[in-house]
Chains A and B, each alone.
Chain A
Amino acid sequence: MSEGSAQPEVIACSNPECTVSESGTCVLGFDKWKEDCPEYQHVVTVKLNNDGDFADQVGDQEVLSPESAMKYSPIWPGTEIGLSDVERIMRSSYTQLIGILGLSDVGKTCFLSSLFLKACSTTQPLNTFMFGGSKTLLGFEERALRTRMWDDSNIPDTLADRTTLQDPRNPGFLHLKLAYRSSPTRPFDVIFTDLPGEWFRELCVNLASASRLEFLKRADSLILIIDAERLIDPSRRHSHIYMTKLLLARIRENIEPVLEIPIVLAISKSDVLGKPLNTATKINGVDEISAEAIRIGLNTEVIYIASYSRCPAIVENGHGIETVLSAALDNFESVSKVDTRMVSSDYKRSFARFGN
């Protein structure tokens, strides 16, 4: 067999008590353990060399042989999580799902990177929240380091169900566990979407692509990133306003989020103004977009942000990031009683909906 022509899978469950790799039987009793078992996380893939034997090294990439795989147990990849992983987190605790929306290059990834940098920083730390963990630490690091970028020539069409370490960047989710500083020992899970801007452009121009975003019905909030740099450029402003309003309309009519959820219009790269950002800040087009959002019934708030600043003496790095997060979480801190309700959905997996 030639290299790459067949890639048998070696099953290695993350549960040290499970022998599914040898027996095919899940120790927790799941018949469909690949789909249903919460302990099953990853498939270790091995490659064949040109002789058809299991290779310990293919090119410059070391891979595990089946024998080696038996000695090792896989760990969650940490790059991003897929739908199945999100569902598992949601089963174990109440989880806030925040959709990060916006066209290509508006700053969606920078927003997440900036949030993570603030958690890591003592010079510009988080003030309202505390970091309590993440199942996608590797993903945050790689996005900040710009080593995990979208392959524009090969954007996947669907959300990842599960992820493996070898995968390129897949549309999926990033995870943070946060706590309010006022109650540090009560951390809660927050899932952020990590979706390519191309998906939102396609949503604007073709309704047929809306189905892959239906899970956003479950979102507890949405953050729509709007690019200040395009708004202040006369040659790009009108197009950006047009597409953003179209995206809002698609969200309202075709995604149909719960209307009461906070939708934050985060005006990114606002340091481009070169002036301090405050309640008096105005950029052409923002009022028009905001008015349109309100007109179609969305509960929106405008916040100017600078994920990183080109003039940090005037606008600090990470300006507005935490304000956006606080608005999106909408006083989650005060929720003390929860009841679960299932939100019916035509999507293949349903999410639990918590409400007062």
Chain B
Amino acid sequence: MATNKTILLVGGAETGKTNFLVRLWLGLRNGQGKMHLTMLPDSLEVFEADTERLLGGEFAERTLGETGNEFSISFNIPSDEIEGDLLIPDLSGETWERVWNERVWPSSLMRNISACDGLVLFIRNNTLVDPLNWIELAELIVRSNEVNFNGLKHYSSKGEAKRVPTQTLLVEWLQLIQEIGSSGSVRKSALRVAIVIAAWDELDESTRDLGPEHYVETRIPLLYQYMQTHMDVISFKVFALSVAGGDLANDPKFRQEFLDGDPTRGGFVLHSLDGDLSESNDFSLPIVWTLGLPIS
């Protein structure tokens, strides 16, 4: 069975989308995992620099602007005799944030959304923006009586201007994407959304022990509730992963171990595809699941 598939990676800046693509690519080249390459893409320029960075013990640099880059491969899943072409546009976090700020879709992105077979939603704990808390709300209300007070524009938390809470962005993106999918073009099947907690190693052990689904429930409650209320129309699955397995930027000892080993096989993916939480080296699992293809 031959099939053309498109997956969109959704997430703000520095949430790990590009690093995931690089690690996915390296895994495909190794023949690891469920999904295999059937031939080399014509051009590897898109990820050349970032691949070299990871192999050299560094994470990818931040993707800037609307790059127009695309991850495009021909794949097969030998165990199930499935083959096809996979397209994953590499969109910067700023592109997604711009959707919120400016309330416009680039038309090219709209067409991708209409045609996509699923989404992978990226979240990273170190870039998570928490919602307003009650103390902050109370302070804002008190200060709103001040002359020329402009709310958040004057209010700072920890010396930084407060940004839009991550969970609000995630829910808004999902809503907007669903709206496009239901308004015009025909979606072939119910939307599938993989939620990926990237850089899982950054979290403390007690949080990691509770698993990625518990993390979503307790740290991103707005998204969690949205998932629960849309279970009939959207399939969700939560993954956690670490591209390298540790902190390449700030842990020299780990970095040395990473380089002394095989960087193309570093990192891990946590999933509960078989019911219990399991660890795998197969970075294609979130993609395979999102495409609705057999996992076991």
Residue numbers of A with Cβ under 8 A of B are 14-17, 39, 64, 70-78, 110, 113-114, 117, 119-122, 124-125, 130-135, 137-138, 141-142, 144-149, 165, 177, 179, 184-185, 187, 308-310, 312, 317-318
Cα of A124 to Cα of B133 in the assembled complex, Å: 10
Chain A contacts for B102, CB-based, 8 A:
165
- B188 at the binding interface (Cβ < 8 Å): no
Partner of B132, one of A16, A134, A145: A145
Cα of A149 to Cα of B147 in the assembled complex, Å: 13
Q: Is the CB of B229 within 8 A of A146?
A: no
Q: Is the CB of A146 within 8 A of B149?
A: yes
Chain B contacts for A312, CB-based, 8 A:
134
Chain A contacts for B279, CB-based, 8 A:
none
Cα of A179 to Cα of B150 in the assembled complex, Å: 34
Q: Is the CB of A120 within 8 A of B221?
A: yes
- B79 at the binding interface (Cβ < 8 Å): no
Q: Is the CB of A74 within 8 A of B168?
A: no
**What are 29 A-B contacts defined by CB distance under 8 Å?**
A16-B107, A70-B107, A73-B107, A74-B104, A74-B105, A75-B104, A75-B105, A110-B141, A114-B137, A117-B133, A120-B168, A121-B221, A122-B218, A130-B225, A133-B230, A134-B171, A135-B175, A141-B168, A145-B132, A146-B149, A149-B144, A165-B102, A179-B228, A185-B229, A185-B231, A185-B232, A308-B137, A308-B141, A309-B138
- B106 at the binding interface (Cβ < 8 Å): yes
How close is A110's CB to chain B, nearest CB, in angstroms? 7
Cα of A209 to Cα of B21 in the assembled complex, Å: 60
Cα of A165 to Cα of B98 in the assembled complex, Å: 14
Chain A contacts for B164, CB-based, 8 A:
141
Partner of B140, one of A73, A77, A146, A179: A146
Which of A75, A119, A124 has the most chain B CB within a 10 Å cutoff?
Answer: A75
Cα of A64 to Cα of B232 in the assembled complex, Å: 38
Chain A contacts for B111, CB-based, 8 A:
16
How close is A312's CB to chain B, nearest CB, in angstroms? 7
Interface hit among B2-10, B116-124, B176-184: B176-184
Chain B contacts for A317, CB-based, 8 A:
134
Cα of A317 to Cα of B138 in the assembled complex, Å: 10
- B110 at the binding interface (Cβ < 8 Å): yes
Chain B contacts for A39, CB-based, 8 A:
183
Which of A64, A70, A147 has the most chain B CB within a 10 Å cutoff?
Answer: A147
Given known A132-B225, A185-B231, contact A308–B134 (CB-CB < 8 A): yes
Chain B contacts for A76, CB-based, 8 A:
103
How close is B231's CB to chain A, nearest CB, in angstroms? 6
Given known A137-B168, A141-B164, A146-B140, contact A73–B226 (CB-CB < 8 A): no
Chain B contacts for A71, CB-based, 8 A:
106-108
Cα of A221 to Cα of B150 in the assembled complex, Å: 33
Chain A contacts for B218, CB-based, 8 A:
122
Q: Is the CB of A77 within 8 A of B226?
A: no
Further contacts, 8 of them, CB under 8 A, given A125-B221, A131-B229: A16-B107, A64-B104, A72-B104, A73-B105, A121-B221, A145-B162, A184-B231, A309-B134
Chain A contacts for B153, CB-based, 8 A:
147
Which of A70, A146, A147 has the most chain B CB within a 10 Å cutoff?
Answer: A146
Q: Is the CB of A146 within 8 A of B144?
A: yes
Q: Is the CB of A117 within 8 A of B185?
A: no
Q: Is the CB of B225 within 8 A of A119?
A: yes
Chain B contacts for A78, CB-based, 8 A:
103, 172
Q: Is the CB of A149 within 8 A of B151?
A: yes
- B165 at the binding interface (Cβ < 8 Å): yes
Chain A contacts for B221, CB-based, 8 A:
119-122, 125
Chain B contacts for A148, CB-based, 8 A:
151
Closest A residue to B172 by CB, please name it: A137
Q: Is the CB of B103 within 8 A of A308?
A: no
Chain B contacts for A179, CB-based, 8 A:
228-229
- B167 at the binding interface (Cβ < 8 Å): yes
Q: Is the CB of A120 within 8 A of B137?
A: no
Given known A75-B176, A120-B131, contact A130–B103 (CB-CB < 8 A): no
- B222 at the binding interface (Cβ < 8 Å): yes
Closest B residue to A181 by CB, please name it: B228
8 Å CB contacts to A: which residues of B8-35? Answer: none
Cα of A144 to Cα of B222 in the assembled complex, Å: 16
Cα of A237 to Cα of B140 in the assembled complex, Å: 26
Chain B contacts for A187, CB-based, 8 A:
229-230
- B87 at the binding interface (Cβ < 8 Å): no
Given known A146-B152, A308-B141, contact A131–B222 (CB-CB < 8 A): yes
Given known A75-B103, A146-B151, contact A133–B226 (CB-CB < 8 A): yes
Chain B contacts for A146, CB-based, 8 A:
140-141, 143-144, 149-152, 155
Closest B residue to A133 by CB, please name it: B175
Partner of A16, one of B110, B149, B162, B172: B110
Cα of A350 to Cα of B175 in the assembled complex, Å: 27
Chain A contacts for B132, CB-based, 8 A:
117, 120, 141, 144-145
Q: 3 nearest interchain CB pairs?
A: A146-B151, A147-B151, A132-B229
How close is B277's CB to chain A, nearest CB, in angstroms? 21
Cα of A119 to Cα of B229 in the assembled complex, Å: 13
